[in-house]
Amino acid sequence: LRMDFGPLSVGVSNQNLWLGPGQFSSLLMSNNAPGFNHISFGTNRPLKTPIGSFEIKIIGGTLFNNKNQNFENGNLKLTGVYGNTSYEKYLSSISVSYSPLFFKNFYLTANRAFTLPAQEKPSSKLTDYYLIALKPLFRNEYQDNSLPIDQVLSGSAKYVFPKEHAEVYFEYGWNDGSSNSRDLLLDMSHSAASIYGFKKIQYLTEKTYLNFEAEATNMSQKPSYLQRNAGNWYIHGNGGYINENQILGAGSGWGNDVQTFVISLNKGWNKYGIKFQHIAHNPMGVTNILANDGGAPYWDDYAYGIQLKQKYSH
């Protein structure tokens, strides 16, 4: 249910949400986990200003941990303290996009999401609970020690080539906030993940075209984990960034690296294509010299698929 007030909207829904430019994965929000009940406020079209166009979306929603299900961010096991209890969490997120007036077809986006245990009587200060995603960027300006408050955040850029029917995009995110600007600059790869991709359509005739898509998602820990272990993406003190025990972001699994390639021939309603995907499961865990048992076993998946859509009569 949504009500529009000019360019602004207020809504309540349980639909799936997608944040970020990725086509096959998203660091913060995808359709991997079930949709959740949420209230949203934001724009329903770009707001034009003298310096460019802006879009914004603020969300407050309810997530659930289910003790009777295995955890996607725990190798499908019932492990850890959070695996023994079912409980409810509150999600606060904000997404802001900007397209500069002086740089057409270029889009910058910032996403941030906080999760914390649901409270019956939350603080009357909005930025302590309902709008906690509006907290200052660095942790030295707020404390997250008294409650298991966790965050994920990302920034992305996308450039579209209209004449070439192509686009390139990049998203870089963190599974944890930095203490201050010095912490961020000295160890930018701490708890970091990224998505790179491009898409290209090549017309052969007016109604026939080739579609190329490629995307790489990197969620394995960087070498800086030797000095400061960040744990894998989507692992947090309050059970992780999940709903119904399923990851809200990239669905390939925690700490994994993924490469996806697709090529298809499209003609009217019909489509014939092939798809290849490689998933390296927690590659940093394989060489984890900090592990007592020498690290996890080597585990890669290779998937090959056919995309086929054929219209017959009506």
Phi, psi of 217 (to 5 degrees): -115, 130
Other beta carbons within 10 Å of 141? 10
Q: Is the pLDDT of residue 295 over 70?
A: no
Question: What is the rounded distance in angstroms from the CA atom of residue 60 to the CA atom of residue 116?
Answer: 12
CB 85 within 8 A of CB 67: yes
* Other C-beta atoms lying within 10 Å of the C-beta of residue 120: 4
DSSP string computed for 172-211: EEESS--SSHHHHHHTTTTTEEEEEEEEEEEESSSSEEEE
**Chain segment 104-163, per-residue pLDDT in tens:** 999 999 999 999 888 888 888 888 888 888 888 887 766 666 567 788 999 999 999 999
Degrees to nearest 5, angle at CA 197 with 105 and 54: 35
> Would the pLDDT of 98 be above 70?
yes
Q: Give residue 90's pLDDT.
A: 93
Q: What's the DSSP call for residue 190?
A: T
Neighbours of 39 (CB within 10 A): 14
| Residue in this structure with the two tokens 């009587």, named with its chain if needed | 121
Contact between 290 and 300 under an 8 Å Cβ cutoff? The reply is no
What's the token pair of residue 217?
A: 């998602």
Among candidates 99, 109, 219, 189, which has minimal Cα distance to 154? 109
Rounded Cα distance between 258 and 212, Å, is: 17
- Whether the CB-CB separation of 255 and 221 falls below 8 Å is answered with yes
The identity of residue 260, as a single letter, is T
* Residues near 85 by beta carbon (within 8 Å), at least 6 away in sequence: 65, 67
Radius of gyration of the chain (CA): 21
In contact, 217 and 280? CB cutoff 8 Å? no
Task: Name the band, by pLDDT with cuts 50, 70 and 90, for residue 165.
Answer: very high
Look at residue 292 and tell me whether its pLDDT is greater than 60: no
Question: Which one has a higher pLDDT value, 159 or 298?
Answer: 159
Mean pLDDT of 216-235: 84
Kindly state the average pLDDT of the residues 10-21: 94
156/174 Cα distance (integer angstroms): 12
